[in-house]
Amino acid sequence: MSEELCAVCREPLDHNRANCLDCGNDFHLALRVDVPARDCGEAWVDDEVQAVVFGCNLCLGHTAQAPSPRRRRRHTGVGASEVARARKRPRAKN
Ligand SMILES: [Zn+2]
Ligand SMILES: [Zn+2]
């Protein structure tokens, strides 16, 4: 059995974890603010799905360890609110 590792920091996951909306990998996220825990991503409310969604720091461009900064250009240097806004871009309708 292989240990589950955080997609961001590559350390073993505990119960403070979330699944990234973008890459689908699990990462460290403090689910309660009153408990000290590692944050390797962020959570925010997505208007489309009306639910809390999660993004890891790699996809949010919050780390220098981003594997493909050029391909992730739209996320580079932006916060979760910017990412959420990008996802709210309305689709063209006929
Ligand atoms: Zn981590
Ligand atoms: Zn991700």
Distance 20 CA to ligand 2 centre (A): 5
The environment of the single-atom ion ligand 2, i.e. residues with CB closer than 5 A, is 20, 22-23, 56, 59
Distance 92 CA to ligand 2 centre (A): 26
Sign, Cα dihedral of 73, 57, 80, 50: positive
On the question of pLDDT at 21 being above 50, the answer is yes
Distance 94 CA to ligand 2 centre (A): 32
On the question of pLDDT at 90 being above 70, the answer is no
Per-residue pLDDT band for 3 (boundaries 50, 70, 90) equals confident
Residue of 32, 30, 28, 37 lying closest to 9 (CA atoms)? 28
Reduced to 3 states (helix: H, G, I; strand: E, B; else coil), residue 57 is helix
Distance 92 CA to ligand 1 centre (A): 37
Domains of the chain: 1-63 (3.30.40)
The ligand minimizing its distance to the Cα of 57 is 2
pLDDT tens, residue by residue, 22-80: 999 999 999 877 878 889 999 999 898 899 999 999 999 986 654 554 544 454 445 55
Q: What pLDDT score was predicted for residue 76? A: 47
∠54-48-45 over CA atoms, to 5°? Answer: 40
Q: What value does the mean pLDDT take over residues 68-94?
A: 55
Per-residue pLDDT band for 94 (boundaries 50, 70, 90) equals low
Q: What pLDDT score was predicted for residue 50? A: 93
